Structures are given as structure tokens and as C-alpha cells.
Structure 1
Amino acid sequence: MVKVWLPFVRDTKPSINSVTTDGENALAFKFYGELWQSLESAFVSIILALSSGDQAEILTDWLGNVHIQFPDLNGAFEVWCYWSKVAKRRLSLLGGIHDKTMAV
């Protein structure tokens, strides 16, 4: 689902933002701004609920895209980096414990 919607919002948001606003439409564009912000927040939440491998794939695609300014997935990227480091540290600790038990 995320892999389908991310390209859509990347392409759609710049075209909506390029429309000029006047006094009457200012409220509508404020609404769209809040809508985009909610959508961005939802993407971060959904991505963080995926497996680490799926997160890595989506975030790698996001980092390699020229439309990196939207959606802003920095929050998801930071959380993914943190948990990847924690997992690596835990695996290295488990490896050390495994080596010690094998030596006994």
C-alpha cells in the first residue's frame, strides 16, 4: 500500500502547491496543508509498523528520490536507524555469549 501511495503523493503535492491562492481559496489551501501534514504523519506511522526489511526498502527509495521534501520521512528514518543499531548491538552481544558457551 505504501509503495503505491508514496509515488502518488510525491507527484500530486507539487502540482497542488503550484496553484496560486487568492483570499477566497486561502482557507481551502490551509485545509489542504493540514491534510498533507496528516497524510505525512500517517505514512510515518504505517512505515514504522512494517518489518525492518520493508522499512529499509521504502526508506532507501525515499532517500534516492528527488522529491525528498515530501513526504518528510525523517522521523521514520531516525527510528529505523536507532532500532537497526540496537538490533546489531544485541546480535553482537548474543554472538559473544554464544562464543563463550561454546568454549566451555
Structure 2
Amino acid sequence: MKKIIVLICLLALVCSPVFAFIYQVKILTKEEVKILKDSQLQEVYVDVMIEKKASETFHQRAGFAPKEYEQFKELLGMVIRLRQEMLERKMEVPPVDEWIK
């Protein structure tokens, strides 16, 4: 009986990082992106790109569930909205992809 309890505890510890994964950024609408100040826009962009890279790395190892796939698509949409707003404001886009390689 003790062996089973220990085995279940070990299994829970191994699996818990997979179940605990959630995005750490709020997905903004186009209107919310438009009202950001330039400095906020760049900060959010960097945060989203970091989250995107972390998510890609996580899912390469764990795979996608349908709900996680939808969340990832929302995150990618957020990246696009931020980039579009930065281009509209003629802001330089931080080279986050290079920074997190």
C-alpha cells in the first residue's frame, strides 16, 4: 500500500508541470492595444514574445490539447496585433526572437 501511495505521489510530481501550464499574459483586443503608450506597447510585445517562445518549447515536449491549441492561436493573434500597432506608430520592433535564441 505504501508503495502505491509513493508511486502516485511521484507521478503527480512528474505530471504537475504539464497541468500547471497557463499563459502569463492577458490577451488584449485591438482596442486595448491601440490605447497603450509606446513604452507599454514595447513592454507588452517583449512579454508576449517571451511567452510565445516558452509556450512553443513547452508544447514541443508535451504536445497540444485542443484547449491549449486555441490558447496558442490567441497568443499568436496578440503578437500580430502588437506588431501591427507598432508598425502603424512607426516604432522599431525589438529583436526579441534574437534575444531569446
TM-score range with shorter-chain normalisation? Answer: 0.3 to 0.5
Rg (Cα) greater in structure? 1
- TM-score, with structure 2 as normaliser: 0.44
Task: Compute the TM-score of the two structures, normalised by the length of structure 1.
Answer: 0.43
